[in-house]
A and B are shown apart, each in its own frame.
Chain A
Amino acid sequence: MRAEYINPFIEATVDVFKTMLGCEVERTGLAVNQTFCPQFDITGIIGLSGRAHGDVVISFERDVALKATEALVGGTCGEITEDVVDTVGELTNMIAGNAKTQLESLEMSLALPTVIVGHNHSIRFPSKVKPLSLPFQSKWGNFNIEVGLIESPVDAHIVVG
């Protein structure tokens, strides 16, 4: 994956957490991942397609998902409810969407997010994709973003409609 594709995702993550949740986050590393990616407790996945295509996978420790939900909708949240699932889906959507806007020349469109709940689940990227992994830390705990994008064949890209 081209390195210049990754900065918009880092900036989008910092911006979404600060603006929507009032939470400062810090990236703690960067690694080329294997296709077999172990995840935290709850994970949002969203597809992107256009002049580049692939997936963004954002996996949260349970406490991060719960506290993010409290920050977004108020109240207290002690378990993974429908609101927590919605929050993870929406954060995934916002981060990918914000990065997509910064990568405007790729003319990508967003799919609808999917959320997976469960400890020690894993996500497999297609074999051609070498996702970059971005671990983040926040006052609520850790989360991880994996971005796997590859450029589409010239005659096969989908233009946003």
Chain B
Amino acid sequence: MSIKALIADDSGVMRKIIVRAATAAGISEITEAVDGADAIAKFGQEHFDLVLTDWNMPNKSGLEVIQEIRDTGSTVPIIMVTTEGEKASVLQAIQAGVSDYLTKPFEADALLAKIEKLSLA
């Protein structure tokens, strides 16, 4: 079965790193979003099986992306990949409905493991 992932990060380099990990996890259909507003627009256009989002992005933050996706009633797995490592930030993301959380910097294997875990769930 083909798994479709949406990757939202304003850094092109970070998107490349996440795409590489998603591809290694066997995800063949990947849509990239350059900021939070782009992510919400693309999420509304098609079905996704997995979402990976940064926190600090222009136009809409990753936290807003999670909240808006959950407001649609979607239960899609969402992984936040971010520099925001404080307990208060992690708690905010959990309350917004994030499924998993990875703090930068990270080992490539750690990202791969989280993608594999949620894309196979």
Contacts and interface: CB of A to CB of B under 8 A. Distances in A.
Interface of A: 15-16, 19-20, 69, 72-73, 82-83, 86-87, 89-90, 93-94, 96-98, 100-101, 104, 107, 110, 112, 160
A14 to B, nearest CB: 11
B105 A104 contact: no
Nearest to A19: B105
Contacts of B84: 97, 101, 110
Contacts, number: 67
B10 to A, nearest CB: 7
Contact of A87 (B13, B83, B87, B103): B13
30 contacts: A16-B105, A19-B106, A72-B17, A73-B13, A73-B17, A83-B12, A83-B13, A83-B16, A86-B11, A86-B13, A87-B13, A89-B11, A93-B56, A93-B83, A94-B83, A94-B104, A96-B83, A97-B82, A97-B83, A98-B104, A100-B83, A100-B85, A100-B86, A104-B86, A110-B56, A110-B83, A112-B10, A112-B57, A112-B58, A160-B88
B14 interface: yes
A131 B105 CA distance: 25
Interface of B: 10-14, 16-17, 56-58, 82-89, 103-107
A55 B84 CA distance: 17
List 6 tightest A-B contacts by C-beta distance, closest first. Answer: A97-B83, A101-B85, A19-B105, A86-B13, A20-B105, A16-B105
Contact of B86 (A87, A90, A101): A101
Nearest to B104: A94
A69 B85 CA distance: 24
